[in-house]
Amino acid sequence: MFYAAYVHIDPDGSASGSFPDVPGCFFAGDTFEETMADAKSALEAHFELIVDSGQDIPESTGVMGTAMNALSQGKETGGIWAVVDIDTTKFMGKAERINITLPHLLITKIDRMVSKNAKYGSRSHFLAEAAIKVMHQETN
């Protein structure tokens, strides 16, 4: 899932930022590259704490939705927008095996997509991401 990050870059090249959709999650680094690596680590650590406390992971309102919301409120000025892609399925609990039935051609297409795109580690991961995306669209 993509989370919008707002980043302030200092004159010395260091940077820091936050995720408007994830209150209390901040990150920083000596370079932009380090900052973005820290952003992903901070988001994962924050999600682990949220899940450990029994809360739900905040949903992303999407990059444009987040930016437009922040701009309409006069927030987040003087910086740049960036995007962090994070696999939220790993914060949803222990994996559970299920038996599903799908048309052969659909399975073939899914497998082709998984083999071409390294972000999907498996057919199951692809299906979980697809389900999350659809549920997110239905609730917004």
Same domain, 10 and 28: yes
Span 112-123, average pLDDT: 90
Q: Count of CB atoms within 10 A of residue 75's CB?
A: 10
Counted domains in the chain: 2
* Strand-strand pairing, 2-9 and 80-85: antiparallel
Please state the separation of Cα 64 from the chain's center in Å: 14
Same domain, 80 and 114: no
Same domain, 41 and 77: yes
Domain that holds residue 11: 1-88
What is the residue-wise DSSP string for 65-84?
A: HHHHHHHHTT-S-SSEEEEE
Span 36-60, average pLDDT: 93
Same domain, 69 and 25: yes
Same domain, 27 and 49: yes
In the numeric block, which tokens belong to residue 28?
């920083």
Contact between residue 42 and residue 49 where contact means Cβ atoms under 8 Å apart: no
Q: Which residues contact 57 (CB under 8 A, 6 or more apart)?
A: 47, 50, 51, 88, 91, 92
Dmax (CA) for the chain in angstroms is 56
* 86 or 135, greater pLDDT: 86
110 by DSSP, 3-state: which? helix
Q: What is the pLDDT of residue 56?
A: 86
Same domain, 98 and 83: no
Summarize pLDDT for 57-80 with one digit per residue, the tens: 888 887 777 667 766 666 666 788
Same domain, 139 and 113: yes
Summarize pLDDT for 76-104 with one digit per residue, the tens: 667 888 999 988 888 887 888 999 999 99
